[in-house]
Amino acid sequence: MYREVVAKSEETMRKSMGFLKEDLATIRAGKANPKLVDKIQVSYYGTMTPLNQVANISVPEPRAIMIQPWDASLVKEIEKAILASELGITPSNDGKVIRLVIPVLTEERRKDLLKIVKKETENAKVAVRNIRRDANEELKKLEKSSEITKDDLKKAEEDMQKLTDKYIKFVEDIYKEKEKEILEV
């Protein structure tokens, strides 16, 4: 019975790691990455549509992203959407293709990005701890209603702590990896 609670919690923690990785992938670190434009929405015949659903996005060189809309009439809309986004990159277009050249990061910008990454990873740690707290509350209810024994409760709480430690370490590893990427020159 308690194993189900632990397994469900682990699945939720795993999903939290996925969300963290997705969020951090959209943070510009001086290298071109198609995920940088993942959150950009373009007005496509009056409907806000994700950029990757109306254009081919590629990385022809290490510091450039090329966006080739399937409908050439969208070039201006895509350009507008990029300028309105928080990317901080000015697009250039030749009427058919939009190019985003990723500028070299300044030291100040690197520090700002690290603050953002640190905040996101702290949020992920809090999420993992909240999952543990919720699971422990659920386990205590099971013990109180005599569905599990005190020994099972103790074992389950130990398992939850091990799981929490494991996922907190994952979060720290993800942070170190992104920090290294940002600080690379």
**Domain stop point among 85, 101, 117:** 101
Instruction: Tell me how many domains the chain contains.
Output: 2
116-159 pLDDT tens trace: 899 999 999 999 999 999 999 999 999 999 888 899 999 999 99
Whether residue 110 sits in one domain with residue 24: yes
Q: Is there a single domain that holds both residue 96 and residue 120?
A: no
How does residue 170 score in pLDDT terms, banded at 50, 70 and 90?
Answer: very high
Enclosing domain of residue 9: 1-28+106-184
Among residues 61, 86, 101, the one where a domain terminates is: 101
Write the DSSP assignment of 104-150 as a string of letters.
PPPHHHHHHHHHHHHHHHHHHHHHHHHHHHHHHHHHHHHHHTTSS-H
Q: Are residues 21 and 41 in the same domain?
A: no
- 80, 101, 122: which is the final residue of a domain? 101
Q: Which two tokens stand for residue 95?
A: 């009427």
Quick check: helix, strand or coil at residue 162?
helix
Residue 178 has pLDDT above 80, yes or no: yes
Distances (CA, A) of 115 to 5, 18, 175: 34, 20, 11
Strand partners, 50: 41
**Residue 79: pLDDT over 60:** yes
CB atoms within 10 A of CB 98: 24
Instruction: Note if the pTM is more than 0.75.
Output: no
Same structural domain for residues 110 and 180?
yes
Question: How confident is the prediction for the chain on average, in pLDDT?
Answer: 88
Element of type H or E holding 8: helix 2-25
Report the alpha-carbon distance of residue 43 to residue 56 in Å, rounded. Answer: 16
Q: Check whether 185 has a pLDDT greater than 60.
A: no
Give the DSSP H/E element, type plus range, for residue 60. Answer: strand 55-61
CATH number of the domain where residue 46 is located: 3.30.1360.40
CATH (domain of 177)? 1.10.132.20
